[in-house]
Amino acid sequence: MAKKTVRDLEVRGKTVLVRVDFNVPMEEGKITDDNRIRQAIPTIETLLEKEGKVVLFSHLGRVKEEADKEGKSLAPVAEKLSEHLNKPVKFVPHTRGEELESAIASMQVGDILMFENTRFEDVDGKKESKNDKELGKYWASLGDVFVNDAFGTAHRNHASNVGIATHMDEVAAGLLLEKEIKFIGGAVDNPERPFVAILGGLKVSDKIGVIEHLLKKADTVLIGGGMSYTFMKAQGLEVGTSVVEDDKLDLAKRLLEKAEGKLFLPVDFRVAKEFKNDAESRIADFDDIKSDEMGLDIGPKTLEKYSDILQNATTVVWNGPVGVFEFSNFAKGTEGILEVLTSLKDTTTILGGGDSAAAAISMGYEDKVTHISTGGGASLEYLEGKSLPGIECVDEIK
């Protein structure tokens, strides 16, 4: 059944609690990437149009002890959101208590309030992260309706998502969460074919479940990034000083056998003797990497081969860059894949969060693909076919 969304809610005059994902990168109190803030705006604006009172809350970073609170306040986030909305956002620097309760009680229709980092509750017994029953019940008591729009924590059973939902009569998905369900969930559960998955990143171990699940679901799986070298070494090939998980060689062999020809590895690489951007490099075929060289990007033959496969795709899901994209001299493979994806006609292109999303945004492709996920770990678990607590707690449409 379909999940209830903010479109299905009647919130006029009601206080709507909205769990957003404002876990944005910050340096010296300044937000360096406000993508997650911007992604939440459609949900907020919809609730305002429906004449609700909007109470926002999020985590920011990890907080285990009092000292960890330094630099983790959501105050700068409230300020940035206010700039985007061109509307005041009242910030309450507490996660509970009389000041917060009074501020919410005094809200008028169209008002927006944000309260402090939910992870501040983890200082005393991990109440947020361990879904403390009383904390979830307390937060639920502050509003009339709950909207979960935080896909980035949808794989977590926390007080600020599942805990609140347990004590609310009406729980809906925000528009961002709805997009994640539609694109990532839809791609895995019922993809339009041919369905091609591209998996990159550093380690096979990080994506064992994803690889196994997508081998069942996808028509073709293209491998890139650091995990390539574990697969290659498992076949007896020389990979030099490339990153390899030696304890996963047997697993890599089994995955190759299980793939039955639908898993493709790079056929050439850009290699260097040093891990730095200005290192002298060359293009080496898969069987020509020297013992003192490391692979840092896919090569042009691989890009051409993968491009040919992608031309016929109707659905593409990509998780993980195919090279060290942070180094401009070894970003050609990742950017090349992005160029191919954005040139495809009538193809749904989905980037599954994390570094692949960061690469697309930093390279200027943010608006040229169908969907970029805002979740890292959540995207991986969803791609594995797992049920996510933050989605399961949302009401079904009856």
Q: Which of 330, 207, 316 is nearest to 275 (CA)?
A: 330
Q: Which of 249, 212, 251, 247 is nearest to 230 (CA)?
A: 249
Q: Which of 45, 67, 61 is nearest to 153 (CA)?
A: 61
Query: Quick check: is 13 catalytic?
Result: no
122's tokens: 């983890």
Query: Quick check: is 352 catalytic?
Result: no
Q: Which of 264, 155, 181 is nearest to 215 (CA)?
A: 264
Exactly one of 61, 185, 209, 377 is catalytic; which is it? 377
Q: What helix, strand, coil percent values describe the chain, rounded to 5?
A: 40, 15, 40
Exactly one of 143, 336, 354, 376 is catalytic; which is it? 354
Query: Quick check: is 253 catalytic?
Result: no
Query: Quick check: is 152 catalytic?
Result: no
Exactly one of 4, 36, 207, 332 is catalytic; which is it? 36
User: Residue 238 class from Cβ within 10 Å (0-12 exposed, 13-18 middle, 19+ buried)?
Assistant: middle
Strands (E), the chain: 15-19, 26-27, 30-31, 53-57, 90-92, 112-115, 145-148, 171-173, 195-199, 220-223, 263-264, 268-272, 281-285, 294-298, 315-319, 348-351, 371-372
Exactly one of 69, 130, 137, 203 is catalytic; which is it? 203
Q: Which of 157, 176, 223, 196 is nearest to 56 (CA)?
A: 176
The catalytic residue positions are 36, 203, 354, 377
